[in-house]
């Protein structure tokens, strides 16, 4: 488990071999600690000096300008010692003493020809202009030659300069910091502005330890064979080109999330021993226009210089989504140009250039057709959810490092985990280990695994969720309703387990063993709908009233019924029409591909279908009310019941899959033997 997680780690910033990091000494460290920086320091110093200088030399420092208060000012006026009052900018009064005043207060200062000093002798801060004028007038009452106030407008150029200089200086500082950080990262670091157009691919090569091999990928036999071939193309291209064959340029891995696509690609890197560029589709996208395309170019340039090699693009749908007609959202342009660039690059390199592009997606249906055409991603490998055999093998892989108790049975666990992906199973194993550790156990036993499965399906048990006895009864009958209907319907999935222990945000759950089938008949879908409605029907039959507890059931049923009518052409009235759009373009359009009248028919048919199914569920449960009650009672007592309990109450299912069962068991056995020898072969081949 652990080593897998390490490999799974995405971009590690400090990888020794980042492709976009030029080898060689780091430029920023190399720059002598000097010239440039020194220059800037000088600029700061000069600016500072100028400011300080202005502060000092801008004024006449010959006479000190003492600020006086009102009392002193009035006194000066009264004693006729003031020669001139200048009101500067209506804010400050500058007071010049006359000869008399000068002789009293500044006996050593000599006046100019006009009788005043060059600069004012005192300043006075005025409050309100009116009151100041009034005060000057009052103070000089009765004086023969009063002094009048003269108004002076003076530009406060210091202030104005500062107003300009400070923002400019700030801008300059900002600019300098930006330039510096750019300069510093010239040598590397994906985050810098010079590297924005560089690809963010993570390079795995012989210096990087990729210790995932095919042994770590369980199941997926066909996928492995195909991928193996890719490895072989890279290693022995002549073998194929000798005969005139062309080596595929791209391989697309398609499948639901968590089925091991990334793992498979990583294992190729481990097996092939060629450099392996790994990145995700979203790595191309940035908020700057044109960056994506430039990253694609850069990636392919890097790859070509390291050929033979593999480029792996995870989640390619991030850029490869069909270029649409969706003119509404202009934001697609960037993605489209990225995709165009990718298409161009894939066309641009020869089949023998030794670069193979692997890509993974879980939505191949929405990918652009141009991307899928031959000559680009010529091959598509489907990576499906594992079947019972696959699950067992995945359990084996992930149990390798665990301390297991003797009672852990992989086959049983594989049976208990229908629909689980590889990632889910990896999670079950880890969760089981954690649970065992929490309980202080020495070994992980079967119960830990079962608890882990429950937890992953339903979320954490909510032991202290308060549920009244009445509610519990409703829940029990609801779940028993699902169990009963599904048990008694030929095509519904047989039940594995029902519980009324609240988990996550559900109050109870029933899970089934889905038949692993590739196509579903109308009858099968219909029976599933009946079983899903069985919960609500049981409430109706037993209590005569229905509750809100069936929300998710109804949601599921509605979707399924809609799909039957509009997608699969399973409705008589609508006929063999399907309004499904595999290109995904319809998602963007506001128009429905059918008329209003058809829309009405669809609504009518869907509702008819669901109502009919509901009625059928009610009929079944009314008929088997005894069994239903027994089951619900047991459920209330024990909280969990299994398929065996149902068998005891209702008897064996007449359509038991005994033949299937036998086949399955045989397959399990066979696979077990085959895997070991196959794995050995494969590793030898590699």
Q: Which of 426, 537, 552, 531 is nearest to 485 (CA)?
A: 531
- Asked if omega into 487 is within 30° of 0 (cis), the reply is no
167 binds ligand ADP (CB under 6 A): no
Residues in the interface with ligand ADP (CB under 6 A) total 19
Q: Which of 264, 257, 374 is nearest to 315 (CA)?
A: 257
Tokens 């000093």 sit at which residue?
Answer: 117
Of 77, 220, 404, 609, the one binding ligand ADP (CB under 6 A) is 220
Q: Applying CB under 6 A, which part among 77-85, 242-250, 419-427, 499-507 lies near ligand ADP?
A: 419-427
Sheet holding 66-67, edge to edge: 66-67, 122-125, 92-97, 82-88, 149-152
Q: Which of 211, 661, 210, 219 is nearest to 396 (CA)?
A: 219
Between residues 147 and 394, which has the closer beta carbon with respect to ligand ADP? 394
Q: Applying CB under 6 A, which part among 193-201, 214-222, 441-449, 492-500 lies near ligand ADP?
A: 214-222
Give the DSSP per-residue string, 617-642. HHHHHHHTHHHHHHHHHHHHHHSEEE
SS3 204: strand
For the question of residue 80 being annotated catalytic, the response is no
For residue 400, give every residue at least 6 positions away whose Cβ sits within 8 Å of its Cβ, in sequence order, or none. Answer: none
Of 117, 259, 486, 499, the one binding ligand ADP (CB under 6 A) is 259
Q: Residue 543 corresponds to which tokens in the numbers above?
A: 């209590």
Least separation in angstroms between residue 593's CB and ligand ADP is: 32
Give the residue nearest to ligand ADP (CB). 422
278 binds ligand ADP (CB under 6 A): no
262 binds ligand ADP (CB under 6 A): yes
Of 19, 219, 320, 627, the one binding ligand ADP (CB under 6 A) is 219
Q: Which of residues 608-647 bind ligand ADP (CB under 6 A)?
A: none
What span, in angstroms and rounded, lies between the C-alpha atoms of 537 and 540? 5
Of 418, 422, 494, 535, the one binding ligand ADP (CB under 6 A) is 422
279 binds ligand ADP (CB under 6 A): no
Q: Which of 497, 455, 504 is nearest to 480 (CA)?
A: 497
Q: Applying CB under 6 A, which part among 212-220, 346-354, 466-474, 654-662 lies near ligand ADP?
A: 212-220
Least separation in angstroms between residue 354's CB and ligand ADP is: 25
Active-site option among 81, 94, 479, 528 = 479
Give the DSSP per-residue string, 482-538. HHHHHHHSSSSPPEEEEE---BTTBS-EEEE-----S---HHHHHHHHHHHHHHHHH
Of 263, 457, 480, 489, the one binding ligand ADP (CB under 6 A) is 263
Strands (E), 121-230: 122-125, 149-152, 202-204
Of 248, 258, 458, 508, the one binding ligand ADP (CB under 6 A) is 258
CB 140 within 8 A of CB 82: no
267 binds ligand ADP (CB under 6 A): no
Between residues 95 and 426, which has the closer beta carbon with respect to ligand ADP? 426
Q: Which helix (H) or strand (E) holds 70?
A: helix 70-78
219 alpha-carbon distance from chain centroid: 29
Q: Which of residues 96-125 bind ligand ADP (CB under 6 A)?
A: none
Give the DSSP per-residue string, 234-294. HH-HHHHHTTT----SEEEEE-STTSSHHHHHHHHHHHH-S-EEEEEGGGG--SSTTHHHH
397 binds ligand ADP (CB under 6 A): yes
308 binds ligand ADP (CB under 6 A): no
Strands (E), 148-264: 149-152, 202-204, 250-254
Interface mask toward ligand ADP for 425-464; x: CB under 6 A: -x--------------------------------------
Q: Applying CB under 6 A, which part among 253-261, 510-518, 622-630, 663-671 lies near ligand ADP?
A: 253-261
Between residues 5 and 661, which has the closer beta carbon with respect to ligand ADP? 5
Least separation in angstroms between residue 503's CB and ligand ADP is: 23
394 binds ligand ADP (CB under 6 A): yes
For ligand ADP, the binding residues (CB under 6 A) are 4, 8, 217-220, 257-263, 360, 394, 397, 422-423, 426
Catalytic residues: 479
């Amino acid at each position: 488990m652990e080593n897998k997680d390490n490999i799974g780690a995405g971009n590690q910033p400090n990888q020794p071999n980042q492709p976009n990091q030029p080898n060689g000494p780091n430029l920023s460290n190399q720059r002598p600690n000097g010239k440039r920086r020194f220059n800037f320091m000088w600029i700061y110093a000069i600016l500072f000096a100028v400011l300080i200088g202005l502060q000092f030399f801008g004024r006449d420092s010959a006479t000190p300008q003492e600020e006086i208060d009102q009392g002193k000012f009035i006194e000066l006026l009264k004693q006729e010692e003031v020669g001139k009052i200048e009101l500067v900018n209506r804010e400050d009064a500058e007071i010049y003493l006359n000869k008399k005043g000068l002789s009293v207060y500044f006996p050593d200062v000599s006046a100019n020809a006009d009788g005043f000093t060059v600069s004012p002798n005192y300043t006075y801060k005025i409050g309100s202009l009116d009151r100041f004028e009034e005060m000057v007038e009052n103070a000089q009452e009765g004086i023969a030659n009063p002094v009048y106030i003269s108004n002076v407008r003076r530009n406060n150029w210091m202030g104005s300069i500062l107003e300009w200089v400070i923002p400019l200086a700030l801008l300059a500082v900002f600019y300098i910091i930006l330039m510096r950080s750019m300069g510093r990262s010239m040598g590397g670091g994906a985050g810098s502005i010079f590297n924005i157009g560089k690809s963010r691919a993570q390079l795995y090569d012989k210096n990087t330890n990729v210790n995932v091999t095919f042994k770590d990928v369980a199941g997926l036999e066909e996928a492995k064979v195909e991928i193996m071939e890719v490895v072989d193309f890279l290693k022995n291209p002549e073998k194929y080109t000798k005969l005139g064959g062309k080596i595929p340029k791209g391989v697309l891995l398609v499948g639901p999330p968590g089925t091991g696509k990334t793992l498979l690609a990583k294992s190729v890197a481990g097996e092939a021993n060629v450099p392996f560029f790994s990145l995700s589709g979203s790595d191309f996208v940035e908020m700057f226009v044109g960056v994506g395309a430039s990253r694609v170019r850069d990636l392919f340039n890097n790859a070509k210089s390291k050929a033979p090699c593999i480029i792996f693009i995870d989640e390619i749908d991030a850029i490869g989504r069909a270029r649409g007609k969706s003119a509404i959202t202009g934001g697609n342009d960037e993605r489209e140009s990225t995709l165009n660039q990718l298409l161009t690059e894939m066309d641009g390199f020869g089949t023998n250039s030794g670069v193979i592009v692997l890509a993974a997606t879980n939505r191949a249906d929405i990918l652009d057709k141009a991307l899928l055409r031959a000559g680009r991603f010529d091959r598509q490998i489907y990576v499906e959810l594992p079947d019972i055999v696959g699950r067992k093998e995945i359990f084996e892989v992930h149990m390798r490092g665990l301390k297991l108790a003797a009672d852990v049975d992989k086959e049983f666990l594989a049976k208990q985990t229908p629909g689980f992906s590889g990632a889910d199973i990896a999670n079950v194993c880890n969760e089981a280990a954690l649970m065992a550790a929490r309980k202080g156990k020495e070994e992980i036993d079967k119960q830990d695994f079962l608890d882990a499965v429950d937890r992953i399906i339903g979320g954490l048990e909510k032991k202290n969720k308060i549920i009244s006895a009445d509610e519990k009864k409703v829940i029990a009958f609801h779940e028993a309703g699902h169990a009963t209907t599904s048990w008694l319907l030929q095509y519904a999935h047989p039940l594995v387990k029902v519980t009324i222990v609240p988990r996550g945000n559900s109050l109870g759950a029933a899970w089934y063993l889905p038949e692993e089938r590739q196509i579903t008949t109308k009858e099968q879908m219909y029976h599933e709908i009946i079983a899903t409605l069985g919960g609500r029907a049981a409430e109706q039959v037993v209590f005569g009233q229905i509750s809100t507890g069936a929300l998710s059931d109804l949601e599921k049923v509605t979707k399924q019924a809609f799909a039957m009518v509009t997608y699969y052409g399973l409705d008589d009235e609508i006929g063999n029409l399907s309004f499904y759009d595999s290109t995904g373009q319809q998602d963007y359009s506001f128009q429905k591909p059918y008329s209003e009248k058809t829309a009405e028919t669809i609504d009518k048919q869907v509702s008819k279908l669901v109502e009919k199914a509901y009625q059928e569920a009610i009929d079944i449960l009314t008929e088997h009310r005894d069994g239903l009650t027994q089951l619900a009672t047991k459920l209330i007592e024990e909280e969990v019941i299994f398929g065996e309990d149902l068998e005891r109450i209702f008897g064996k299912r007449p359509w038991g899959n005994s033949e299937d069962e036998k086949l399955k068991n045989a397959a399990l056995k066979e696979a077990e033997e085959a895997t070991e020898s196959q794995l050995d072969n494969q590793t030898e081949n590699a």
